[in-house]
């Protein structure tokens, strides 16, 4: 799942372990615009974000299967999946036998837009903090074990570059980086396209003006 806005650029889904075979029919690439405080609040829950993440990277699954992946009970996952479905974030995938009821994501990418009113801004900031907290937590988890992997140990996990840019140039760079990463997006839904040694890589791109003491004089 990807969530982007002026403060958080396009991201790829996080690593959630060994990926299962994914149906190409679940490859929803349309960008959903999140404009209402109500739908933002519906996403602002760690279990719901975890469910969207695992469905995005591993494809359709039942509440029981999703619960096993994220460490929650089937009952808890079923409740939160129904809440996500209420706001159109997931839907039934079909093809279930008996009581088996698989779910799939409707869109893999979402964007916070139209943030202007007080209520929308508060809801957007709460969602942004939760999402960014999850990004940082996963980065810290990798940092703790990176030295144990001889193949990946010397690959930089983060970098910082400061440059003077206009708003249009900043947007253009974000779009260029997104387009570069999109070249590999089909590997998410088609395991046969993944080369040997590849791993799911989460890319988080944050670009923002420097403020306060770090802001250069005009």
pTM, whole model, 2 decimals?
0.75
Backbone angles phi, psi at 116, to 5 degrees: -140, -40
DSSP 61: B
DSSP string of 62-77, one letter each residue? -HHHHHHHHT--HHHH
The structure tokens listed for 152 are: 């990946």
Q: How does pLDDT run across 7-16, given as a tens digit for each residue?
A: 333 333 343 3
Mean pLDDT of 34-45: 92
Instruction: Find all residues with CB under 8 Å of 35, minimum gap 6, and list them.
Output: 113, 114, 120
Instruction: Over range 87-110, report the average pLDDT.
Output: 84
CA distance 94 to 60: 9
Which whole number is the average pLDDT over 38-52?
Answer: 95
For 145, the 3-state DSSP assignment is helix
pLDDT score of 119 more than 50: yes
Structural domains of the chain, with CATH: 2-214 (1.10.10.10)
Residues in contact with 215: Cβ distance below 8 Å, sequence separation at least 6, in sequence order: 209
DSSP assignment of 93-125, as one string? -----TT---EEES-SEEEE----SHHHHHHHH
Calculate mean pLDDT across residues 87-105.
84
Q: How far apart are CA 207 and CA 170, in angstroms?
A: 8
Two structure tokens written together for 53: 């993440």
Calculate what percentage of the chain has a pLDDT beyond 70: 81
pLDDT at 80 over 90: yes
């Amino acid at each position: 799942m990807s969530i982007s806005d002026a403060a958080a650029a396009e991201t790829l889904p996080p690593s959630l372990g060994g990926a299962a075979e994914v149906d190409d029919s679940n490859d929803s690439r349309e960008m959903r615009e999140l404009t209402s405080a109500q739908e933002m609040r519906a996403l602002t829950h760690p279990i719901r974000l975890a469910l969207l993440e695992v469905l995005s990277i591993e494809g359709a699954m039942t509440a029981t299967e999703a619960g096993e992946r994220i460490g929650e009970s089937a009952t808890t996952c079923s409740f939160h999946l129904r809440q996500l479905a209420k706001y159109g974030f997931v839907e039934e995938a079909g093809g279930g036998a008996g009581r088996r009821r698989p779910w799939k994501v409707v869109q893999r990418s979402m964007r916070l837009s139209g943030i202007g009113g007080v209520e929308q801004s508060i809801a957007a900031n709460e969602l942004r903090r939760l999402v960014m907290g999850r990004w940082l937590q996963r980065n810290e988890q990798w940092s703790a074990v990176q030295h144990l992997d001889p193949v990946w140990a010397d690959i930089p996990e983060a970098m910082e570059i400061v440059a003077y840019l206009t708003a249009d140039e900043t947007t253009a760079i974000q779009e260029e980086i997104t387009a570069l990463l999109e070249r590999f997006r089909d590997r998410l839904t088609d395991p046969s396209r993944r080369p040997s040694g590849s791993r799911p890589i989460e890319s988080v791109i944050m670009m923002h003006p420097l403020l306060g003491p770090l802001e250069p004089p005009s």
